[in-house]
Every structure is written in C-alpha cells, then in structure tokens.
Structure 1
Amino acid sequence: MLGNVLSGAWHGGNATWPLHTRPLLQPAWDYLQRHHEGTLRSPLFPALLSIFTYLLLVLFYTVLDLLAPTWPSIRRYQIHPERTVTWQNIGATLALTTYNHLLYIFPAAVAQWLWRPPVPLPPEAPSLTAFLLGIVGCVVLFDFQYYLWHVLHHRISWLYSTFHAIHHQYRQPFSLVTQYLSAWELFSVGLWTTVDPVLLGCHCLTGWAFMIFNVWVSAEDHCGYDFPWALHRLVPFGLWGGVQRHDIHHLQPGTNFAPFFTHWDWLAGTACASTTKPPRAETEEDESGDSTKASGQRADNGA
C-alpha cells in the first residue's frame, strides 16, 4: 500500500507528493461540534471551563499538601518543606474564592449569557501551526499586560493596599492562593484571558486551550512544589519564570513581576533568581497552624 502511494506520487518528470489539506485537529473539532455544539456555543462555557480546570488542579495540589507531612516522597519536592498547609489555610482561601465567584464571576457570566447570543462555531478547525502559534501569541501578550499591571499595583501604594495586598498575605503560597485575590484582580486576569485570543484573531479552540494553559500555569506558579516536570525545567535558557521565581516574588515582592517569561524582569532590573529563607518566626507553624500567612503590607516592604 505504501509502495502504491509512493509510486503514484510521481507524475512525469516532476515529483509531487500528496499533501493533506485537512487540519490535524479537524476530527476532534468535528466530534466536539457534533456532540457538544450547544455547550460550546454557550457564553457560559468559557467561565465553566476555567472554573472546572482550576478546581481539578487545586484538588490535586491540596491532596499533596495534606499528604506531604507524612509522605517524604512528596515533601522532598516542596520549596518550603518546613511549611504545613492546614485546614484553616484551605478554608480561608477557598472561602474568598467561593465568595468572589458567587458574588462577581457567576452573575457576570449569567448576564453575558442573557445578553449575548450563542457563539457561532467555525466549521473548520485551526491548523496545528495556527493553534500552537496562537497560544504562544496569547501567552506573550498576556505576559506583557500582566507585567505592567503587576508593577503598577506594587509601585502605587493605593492600588496595592486596595486591590493587591490581599494576595500577598501568604508569603509561602500554595495552590489555593492562586485565586486568593480581590475581585478587581480576578476580573482583570479573566478579561485579558478572554479578550487576547479575540485581539489576535485566534480560533475559539485556540482561545479555550490558552485559557486552560493560563489556569494551569497560574496554579503551578503558586503550588509550592518544584517537580521535575515543572515548566521552568522544561523551557531552556531560563526563559520561563515558574514556581521558584514566583515563590521568591511572595518573599521579596519587589521582584519577579512577570507571570510567564523572565525577559521583562531582566530588562527592568526586577529579576531575582534566588533568595535567603525568611526568619524562622515567619516560616514555622504557630499555635494556630497559620504558618503560611503574614501581613501583606509587611511582605511588600521592598516594593
């Protein structure tokens, strides 16, 4: 069969190979449209996709946090092995996340669902090249947007104390700190994640993939574990910040502002690749078990 294909690809003196013009992602896209078109067209779908992805990730990391004190095979990968994530920490962060989603995110999603007609789905899937380049483009654009936003919210004291300080109450972050945010910050991140694929003219499948990637990276940056498969270990030349550099940002908040890459911090002189551990009194578990939490304003004394 292969011989017939190879021999039939030649016509006269010219070598012409049969090229498949059908995108590699087309079968998967056809399946999704055929079986889940109503769900995909709903304006609620992006919000539900983001929330579901986030809950799966934080569930995985939270289970690790609860097992780590008695499982050395897990604890060995913790950036702060002396840290213990308690049920009090989990309850406090989960309460704010739930509050923000119920009071702000869910009503906004429902309003969009009521005011916006179902999203039309293009019949053609993106090519694999367009799919991957679209995600890369969204990552680069989001990285620049959030870097500027982040620097401003550290440099301007009113912005910091009003909107961003709450996120820095935890000097040693764990996965649920990812969305331990003010509503303003949550809206800002969600807006760019939604709008950037539209600005770059990406296929909706590319936009959803970028959304999943963004949630995954954010959770990994806050998880507190430096696993061998962490992205900063896979991307060469130190181009990716990752969990270690973001952990340093929570210890030294005047550094490492970019969410993904390291180039903006290097160019602006805000990069920091290592740090000394904080004083023992700030890292060890106190009687209340709230060892990971400290004053947000005290944490940002270098910003």
Structure 2
Amino acid sequence: MSNSSCSSNQLFLQPLWDLSRTFVQSAFFPVIFAITTYVGFCLPFVVLDALYPWVPALRRYKIHPDFSPSAGQLLPCLKLTFYQHVMFVFPVTLLHRVCSPDNLPLDAPGLPELVCHVVICLLLFDAEFFAWHLLHHKVPWLYRTFHKVHHQNSLSFALATQYLSAWELFSLGFFDMVNVTLLGCHPLTVLVFHVVNIWLSVEDHSGYDFPWSTHRLVPFGWYGGVVHHDLHHSHFTCNFSPYFTHWDKLLGTLR
C-alpha cells in the first residue's frame, strides 16, 4: 500500500482518535465505557419490551411472542451488572493501569488495519468462547458452579446478556485482553472491537428477530445470531458458539 494511501486511511480516523484519546487516558474510562455502552445497547430493547403489550405489530418480530420480561427480572440483571463492574472490573482495570500505564499513540490506525483486527478478534473470541462454553456445559461441576447463573433466564432478553457469574465475566474479559494484546491492536481498534462485541452479544439475547438483524445480513448462514443463541437457551445441548456457526457445524452441535 502506498504511503499516500496509508496516510489517507489514518486521516479518516484521526479526528475520532483525537477525541477518544482525551477520555481513554482516564483510569475511570474502561468501566464507564463498558457500562454505558452495554446499557445503551440494551435500552432500545427494554423500551420495546415495555411497549410490546400495546403494540401488536411487534409480535411478528418477537421470538417468544407470549413472553415479556418483568421488572422483577430486569432489575436484578441491571443490579448485578453494576455491582460486578464496580466491585471487580474497576479494581482490575485500575491495577492494570497503575502497573502498566498506556503510552497512547498520536496517530490513528488505518481503516483497513482496524477492520481486519476487529474481524480477527471476533473470530478468535468466537473460538475461545465456544471451547469455554462447551466445556462448562459438558462438565457438571463447572456448569453448576459458574455457568448456571446465566441460564437462570431460559427465555432471553437484552439485560440478561451480562447476568453472569464473576468467573464467567472475567473469563470473557480475559479472552478480549489476550486477543487485542497478541494482535497489537491500536487502542481505537480495541474500543471499536468492544463496541461491536457488546452489541452482538446484546442482540443475541434481545429476543427480537428483525429483518435487519445481523444473522440476516451475513450470507450463507455463517452467522447464527439471535435465533441461533435462543435455541441454545431453550435446549442447552446445541449452538455453543456465540456468533458464527462453523465450530458448531464441525463438532455436530449446530441446531
């Protein structure tokens, strides 16, 4: 790629990185970013669930038309998310910041580099989570001790996405950290990857199958999406990959 091409790609993202760099330097940024992004993505689905009884047109997009989460289901999920981020995620990110302070680059990444790294991180995360997820379903002690919390809500809704044990939350965070570190991802790429990853996980648990849902936009059935993951919550013995379908196809666990 020519120098002029690299330069134009970097300039495309430079204003975004200049703005982001101001916030990324704060020790409070990772936990605030994680919570606000997650809750922000969940909120539209919470509103849809609130409107659902009065808007019959939504019924055609609901995977389980007779189910709408109650306040008694939503509030514990929200409470657990805030509790774990404040009590666990924040101390860990603060310790990491103190032990290895970031030397943030002045230049933004090129757009092809950012897109390539985000796609690779998603594929790596999908493979790691598939192995972790399958193991926690096949070993009864692991399931009872760590993963059963997430399956307490058998019918999915957006705020149940992060209804997890602390071990599961840290495991998924560890996969994220290892992948971006091994690839040497630019900090802006890391932010974009986290946004995409959070959105896909919330969509997977949303309970809504829209014409514009991700699994309908990705061709050839490569991406499972919300319907794929809902079957996992219903049957427990299939569809262990969070996003793509190739690992379940290879191991015969695709339904």
TM-score, normalisation: structure 1: 0.79
Quote the sequence identity (%).
Answer: 44
* Alignment match of 1:194 (pick from 157, 174, 177): 177
- CA distance in 1: counterparts of 2:26 and 2:75, whole angstroms: 32
2:156 aligned counterpart, secondary structure: coil
- CA distance in 1: counterparts of 2:98 and 2:109, whole angstroms: 29
- CA distance in 1: counterparts of 2:114 and 2:237, whole angstroms: 35
Task: Decide whether the 8 Å contact of 1:25 with 1:126 is kept in 2.
Answer: yes
Distance change in 2, residues 1:25/1:75 (3 Å): farther
Shift of 1:120: 1.6
2:7 aligned counterpart, secondary structure: coil
State the match for 2:117 in structure 1.
134
State the match for 2:145 in structure 1.
162
| One-letter amino acid of the counterpart of residue 29, structure 1 | Q
Point out where structure 2 has 5 or more consecutive residues left out of the alignment: none
* Alignment match of 2:7 (pick from 22, 31, 34): 22
| One-letter amino acid of the counterpart of residue 239, structure 1 | W
1:179 aligned counterpart, secondary structure: coil
1:72 matched to 2:66? The reply is no
Shift of 1:182: 0.1
Alignment of 1:1-303 (within 5 A): 20-30=5-15, 32-33=17-18, 35-117=19-101, 119-272=102-255
| One-letter amino acid of the counterpart of residue 89, structure 1 | Q
Task: Decide whether the 8 Å contact of 1:170 with 1:177 is kept in 2.
Answer: yes
Distance change in 2, residues 1:160/1:124 (3 Å): same
Distance change in 2, residues 1:177/1:132 (3 Å): same
1:221 aligned counterpart, secondary structure: helix
| One-letter amino acid of the counterpart of residue 240, structure 1 | Y
2:9 aligned counterpart, secondary structure: coil
Shift of 1:19: 5.0
- CA distance in 2: counterparts of 1:27 and 1:21, whole angstroms: 10
Q: Give deviations 1:181-203, integer Å, cap 9, x for gaps.
A: 00000111112122211111222
1:22 aligned counterpart, secondary structure: helix
Aligned residues: 254
1:180 aligned counterpart, secondary structure: coil
| One-letter amino acid of the counterpart of residue 196, structure 2 | F
- CA distance in 2: counterparts of 1:181 and 1:147, whole angstroms: 16
| One-letter amino acid of the counterpart of residue 142, structure 2 | L
Cα RMSD of the aligned pairs, angstroms, is 1.9
Distance change in 2, residues 1:218/1:46 (3 Å): same
1:58 aligned counterpart, secondary structure: helix
1:23 aligned counterpart, secondary structure: helix
Shift of 1:271: 0.3
Distance change in 2, residues 1:36/1:97 (3 Å): closer
1:85 aligned counterpart, secondary structure: coil
Task: Decide whether the 8 Å contact of 1:23 with 1:126 is kept in 2.
Answer: no
Shift of 1:100: 1.6
Distance change in 2, residues 1:23/1:198 (3 Å): farther
Task: Decide whether the 8 Å contact of 2:17 with 2:188 is kept in 1.
Answer: no
Shift of 1:176: 0.7
Computing the radius of gyration from Cα coordinates, the structure with the larger value is 1
Identify the structure with the greater helix proportion.
Answer: 2
Higher mean alpha-carbon deviation, 70-79 vs 176-185, is at 70-79
Task: Decide whether the 8 Å contact of 1:194 with 1:211 is kept in 2.
Answer: no
State the match for 1:283 in structure 2.
none
Distance change in 2, residues 1:179/1:21 (3 Å): closer
- CA distance in 2: counterparts of 1:178 and 1:124, whole angstroms: 34
Distance change in 2, residues 1:144/1:31 (3 Å): closer
Distance change in 2, residues 1:125/1:36 (3 Å): closer
Point out where structure 1 has 5 or more consecutive residues left out of the alignment: 1-16, 273-303
